[in-house]
């Protein structure tokens, strides 16, 4: 019996500092499209950039240096077994900062991993899907290309492109909502920049929900999102959550780090 291949970690020569991610889930075709810019720090001169990606089709890959020089990889190696992508450049990437841009496409899968589809019945009796994420422990790579190891923390700007009749949610509060420039059926919703955190903590939900809300005694806005018409069933969870937050803050001497908390019935 052949020896199992040893687990491969990402090299330490590239560090992500900030992700700017746009996701557009298609809740009818159960696919999604995305694009991102990642501010990276190159610690050692290199001709390769390696990161995690799984079940994604990558395109329009480029690296922009501070001088505005744009570098396109000469080749791309994909390792499904290691869930990694290696970009190979003819030019050497110098020590310093750079911006990695990638567009990508994927499926809203039925594996309850990464970004997946969750079936529900609408108020009119129609079978529909929500888009939901589950990234812990190592499935952020199924949603967007990333350095998907807990120690490689970064900040995140999330933008969701969704139909007007869907509720978009992410870790941080919404900061803007505008009409899509080329499709009046869609809206572009941006969320505030997250604190420094691991990729597995990023969360996105798009669906049809009602909610009940309250504020904890330590000032955290709490919402419980429920299927449409069932918000009354969220009141007990809301009551518990608003009491637990200040209790945990006192017990652990650690404050909840975000300005809001959403509980969502999937």
Residues 138 and 33 in one domain: yes
Q: Pick from 205, 220, 254: which residue ends a domain?
A: 205
pLDDT at 4: 63
Residues 38 and 157 in one domain: yes
- Number of Cα atoms under 13 Å in the Cβ half of residue 157: 13
pTM for the full predicted model: 0.94
pLDDT at 217: 94
Q: Is residue 1 part of a domain?
A: no
With helix as H, strand as E and coil as C, how does 62-90 read? Answer: EEECCCCCEECCCEEEEECCCCEEEEEEE
CATH number at residue 219: 3.30.2010.30
> In which residue ranges of the chain is pLDDT below 50?
none
Q: Pick from 153, 171, 205: which residue ends a domain?
A: 205
Residue 263: beta bridge partners? 224
Residues 160 and 238 in one domain: no
Residues 199 and 213 in one domain: no
- Pairing status of strand 84-93 against strand 75-79: antiparallel
Residue-wise pLDDT tens digits, 61-88: 999 999 999 999 999 999 999 999 999 9
Residues 47 and 173 in one domain: yes
Residues 196 and 223 in one domain: no
pLDDT at 1: 55
Q: Is residue 42 part of a domain?
A: yes
Residues 238 and 170 in one domain: no
Provide the domain count of the chain: 2
Backbone angles phi, psi at 234, to 5 degrees: -95, 0
Give the position of tokens 């996701």: 23
Domain with 224 in it? 209-266
Classify residue 170 as left (phi > 0), alpha (psi -120 to 50) or beta. Answer: beta
Classify residue 96 as left (phi > 0), alpha (psi -120 to 50) or beta. Answer: left
Q: Pick from 205, 225, 243: which residue ends a domain?
A: 205
DSSP states along 237-264: HHHHHHHHHHHHHHHHT---SSSEEEEE
State how far the alpha carbon of 52 is from the alpha carbons of 69, 76, 226, in Å.
25, 13, 33
Q: Is residue 201 part of a domain?
A: yes
């Amino acid at each position: 019996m052949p020896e199992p291949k040893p687990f491969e970690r990402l090299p330490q020569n590239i560090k992500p500092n900030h992700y700017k991610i746009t996701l557009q889930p298609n809740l009818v075709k159960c696919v999604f499209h995305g694009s991102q810019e990642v501010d990276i720090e190159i610690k050692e001169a290199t001709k390769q950039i390696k990161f995690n990606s799984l079940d994604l089709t990558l395109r329009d890959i480029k690296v922009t240096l501070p001088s505005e020089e744009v570098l396109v990889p000469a080749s791309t190696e994909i390792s499904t077994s290691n869930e990694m992508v290696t970009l190979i450049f003819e030019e050497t990437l110098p020590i310093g900062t750079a911006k990695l841009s990638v567009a990508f496409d994927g499926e809203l899968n039925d594996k309850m991993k990464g970004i997946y589809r969750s079936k529900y019945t609408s108020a009119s009796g129609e079978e529909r899907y929500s888009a939901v994420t589950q990234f812990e422990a190592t499935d952020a790579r199924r949603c967007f290309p990333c350095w998907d190891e807990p120690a490689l923390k970064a900040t995140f700007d999330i933008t969701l492109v969704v139909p007007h009749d869907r509720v978009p949610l992410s870790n941080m509060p919404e900061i803007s909502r505008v009409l899509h420039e080329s499709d009046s059926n869609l809206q572009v919703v941006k969320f505030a920049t997250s604190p420094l955190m691991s990729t597995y903590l990023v969360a996105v939900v798009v669906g049809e929900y009602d909610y009940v809300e309250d504020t904890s005694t330590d000032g955290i806005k709490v919402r419980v999102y429920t299927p449409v018409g069932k918000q009354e069933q969220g009141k007990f969870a809301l009551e518990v959550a608003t009491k637990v937050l200040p209790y945990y803050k006192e017990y652990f001497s650690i404050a909840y780090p975000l300005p809001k908390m959403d509980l969502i019935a999937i």
